[in-house]
């Protein structure tokens, strides 16, 4: 995609997994090797092999400094999610993060709170819908939101049975 004008890419609710399906590999390679300036990236789905998750994480990290919006919903990256978050939460352009339908809420909340309490913190909007928070996870998140460095303006927690 040399000199592409693509600024948004949304691939949601995608089931990967077939050996004949080279979509994951093609997408990761495209992100790593493109000259497009993505500003919004949405990925959600399931079925990636561990190597594909690592490739996607690496690809996302290669473009994350240009992103203002990032969605990583479902278990699209599993353990590789945390390496992406550690880079993304420190990016000045990243304003909106959507992480819906995750099963590792406690770890995600701890990582977010660490980011909330560090300087600088740039994120303005956070979406954690369909996550089914436990009381302990909500306590972690609530305590982090009280920190003076937290600059969130929008927090979405819909469909969590709070």
> What would the pLDDT profile of 57-83 be if each residue is shown by its tens digit?
999 999 999 999 999 998 888 889 999
pLDDT computed for residue 148 by the predictor: 85
- The verdict on residue 161 lying in a domain is no
- The verdict on residue 108 lying in a domain is yes
Asked if 74 and 101 count as a contact pair (C-beta separation under 8 A), the reply is yes
Whether the per-residue pLDDT at 46 is higher than 70: the answer is yes
- The verdict on residue 87 lying in a domain is yes
pLDDT computed for residue 1 by the predictor: 47
Per-residue pLDDT averaged across 83-99, rounded?
93
- The verdict on residue 51 lying in a domain is yes
The domain of 71 spans 8-156
Report the predicted TM-score, pTM, of the whole model to 2 decimal places: 0.89
Per-residue pLDDT averaged across 32-51, rounded?
84
Q: Burial of 60 by CB count in 10 Å (0-12 exposed, 13-18 middle, 19+ buried)?
A: buried
For residue 9, give the 3-state DSSP assignment: strand
Mean pLDDT over the full length of the chain: 86
Number of structural domains the chain divides into: 1
Whether the per-residue pLDDT at 35 is higher than 80: the answer is no
- The verdict on residue 2 lying in a domain is no
For residue 120, give the 3-state DSSP assignment: coil
Tokens of 118: 């560090």
Instruction: Identify the CATH number of the domain in which residue 77 sits.
Output: 3.80.10.10
């Amino acid at each position: 995609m040399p000199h592409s004008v693509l600024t948004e890419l949304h691939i949601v609710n995608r089931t990967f997994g077939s050996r004949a399906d080279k979509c994951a590999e093609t997408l990761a390679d495209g992100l790593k090797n493109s000259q497009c300036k993505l500003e919004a990236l949405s990925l959600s789905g399931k079925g990636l092999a561990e190597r594909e998750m690592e490739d996607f994480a690496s690809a996302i990290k290669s473009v994350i400094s240009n992103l203002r919006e990032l969605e990583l919903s479902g278990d699209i990256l599993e353990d590789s999610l945390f390496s992406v978050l550690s880079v993304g939460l420190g990016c000045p352009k990243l304003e909106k993060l959507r992480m819906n339908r995750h099963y590792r809420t406690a770890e995600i909340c701890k990582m977010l709170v660490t980011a909330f309490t560090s300087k600088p913190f740039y994120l303005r909007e956070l979406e954690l819908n369909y996550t089914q928070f436990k009381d302990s996870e909500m306590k972690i998140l609530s305590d982090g939101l009280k920190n003076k460095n937290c600059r969130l303006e929008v927090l979405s927690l819909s469909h969590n049975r709070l």
